Structure 1
Amino acid sequence: MLSNSKGQPSLARTVKSQATILGGTVASFWALEIFDQFLPRSLSLDNWGIHPRDVHDLLNIFFAPFLHVGFAHLIANTVPFVVLGWLIMVRSVRDFFLVSLIGIIVSGLGVWLFGDPNSVTVGASGVIFSYLGFLLLRGYFDRSWQSIAIALVVGFFFGGALWGMLPVQTGITMISWQAHLFGFIGGVLAAWLLTSRRRTAY
């Protein structure tokens, strides 16, 4: 049986779907990084990162989150991406996709507008910070005890990452504090928009 008597998906099917989405996304991160290791530097996939204020590369905001500068960078992003992404999925898989999209756009535009003109920004950190902002502020907007409990847990384990929004990070082809800050703002925006949408629906 894959569904209950009311036609709702079973727990096993839901978990399998969540694992497939998260696992597939992370697998794409790793596959791209492994492939990139075999490319000459002039053809590196990191060139598809965000080039601030370069109109020709504006659409790279949608590619940059899938690219990383080496395996250390990738490993550092994999665990929080999976944990925070799954905490969003627990409530709604649709929320995961919407928060991810809003986070990609807001963090990417923030980097494109305010990043160092000599930098190339890549990595999933902007999206991760959007998950962080969404989970921390969702309880404030919808006032549900489940969301508040998740916010407390997330704040306890990941609250220290908020320091990453301060303008203390530099470097070429490295994820920037602008991505962190605007990713977090995107997550807060998503929490407000999705909560407002639910209230309107009811």
Structure 2
Amino acid sequence: MSTSAQSPVPSAQSLTRFVHPVAFLVFMWLVRAFDWVLPGTFNTYGIRSWDVTSAFGIVLSPVLHSGWPHLVANSVPFLVLGLLVAAEGARRYWLVTGIIALVGGIGTWVVNWPGTLTVGASGLVFGYFGYLLVRAFVVKTLSHRILYAVIAIVVAVLYGGSMLTGVLPVRVGISWQGHLFGAIGGGLAAWLLRPRTPVPAKPANTFGF
């Protein structure tokens, strides 16, 4: 008889989930490089508030940036928070990212001043933070609640100041709308993707005499 024990070393398949936020960030850098080299600018494809022809900007805006400093400023928090979200799996990472982009993009399109152009991945950054924060309250097991609470506290210590001020209209040229609705989208994603309690099957009707 032979027995097998689970290896403490993570398998290559389990580690591939972390490739997704890294690849997404690399794609952003490639887009910025092409935008820098080619004539014109890709930023015209961002979110232009109240302009129905810019609806595609909801999808494209997160990968566009106004310049290299803008991209550099977003890269580290995006990667750190993105890896934390991706730890739950590639499928969940893209679901969370999609919900954040949709809610954040629509909110920005509606609330921002008409004609305002918005680009950048900071909405995703705030969305990942909102997701991790709300996730601590919707997971079922105590151990997972503690884990996500610790993660939320650590992230709050590292980025708390910028996260709090980022959702307020205190800095000219910064889309607080994108930050605010991105965070709302992240919280909504955590709630929509929360663990569900299985509904017990109803017993079959029986008749006795």
Normalising TM by the smaller chain, what interval? 0.7 to 0.9
- Does structure 2 conserve the Cα–Cα contact (< 8 Å) formed by 1:46 and 1:67? yes
Partner of 1:114: 111
Counterparts of 2:106 and 2:5, CA distance in 1: 43
Partner of 1:33: 32
Q: Which amino acid aligns with 1:169?
A: R
C-alpha deviation, 1:15, in angstroms: 5.7
Residue 116 of structure 2 aligns to a residue whose secondary structure is coil
Counterparts of 2:171 and 2:58, CA distance in 1: 19
Q: Which amino acid aligns with 1:88?
A: V
Work out whether 1:83 is the aligned partner of 2:80. Answer: yes
C-alpha deviation, 1:158, in angstroms: 1.6
Work out whether 1:71 is the aligned partner of 2:68. Answer: yes
CA RMSD of aligned residues (A): 2.2
Map 1:138-149 → 2, pairs under 5 A: 138-142=135-139, 144-149=145-150
Work out whether 1:127 is the aligned partner of 2:124. Answer: yes
- Does structure 1 conserve the Cα–Cα contact (< 8 Å) formed by 2:118 and 2:175? yes
Picking from 141, 165, 170, the partner of 1:168 is: 170
Per the normalisation by structure 1, the TM-score is 0.86
C-alpha distance after superposition, 1:152-201 (max 9, x if no partner): 11111121122100012333xxx510000000000111111111xx2245
Counterparts of 1:170 and 1:63, CA distance in 2: 23
C-alpha deviation, 1:7, in angstroms: 9.6
User: What 5-or-longer segments of structure 1 have no aligned partner?
Assistant: none
User: What 5-or-longer segments of structure 2 have no aligned partner?
Assistant: 200-209
Alignment identity in percent? 41
Structure that is richer in helix per residue: 1
- Give the number of the structure whose alpha-carbon radius of gyration is greater: 2
- Does structure 1 conserve the Cα–Cα contact (< 8 Å) formed by 2:51 and 2:115? no
Counterparts of 1:100 and 1:130, CA distance in 2: 8
C-alpha deviation, 1:133, in angstroms: 0.3
Residue 199 of structure 1 aligns to a residue whose secondary structure is coil
Partner of 1:100: 97
C-alpha deviation, 1:14, in angstroms: 4.3
C-alpha deviation, 1:128, in angstroms: 0.8
Given the superposition, is the C-alpha separation of residues 170 and 145 from structure 1 closer, same or farther in structure 2, using an over 3 Å criterion? same
- Does structure 2 conserve the Cα–Cα contact (< 8 Å) formed by 1:64 and 1:124? yes
Per the normalisation by structure 2, the TM-score is 0.83
Residue 11 of structure 1 aligns to a residue whose secondary structure is coil
Residues 14-23 or 77-86, more deviating: 14-23
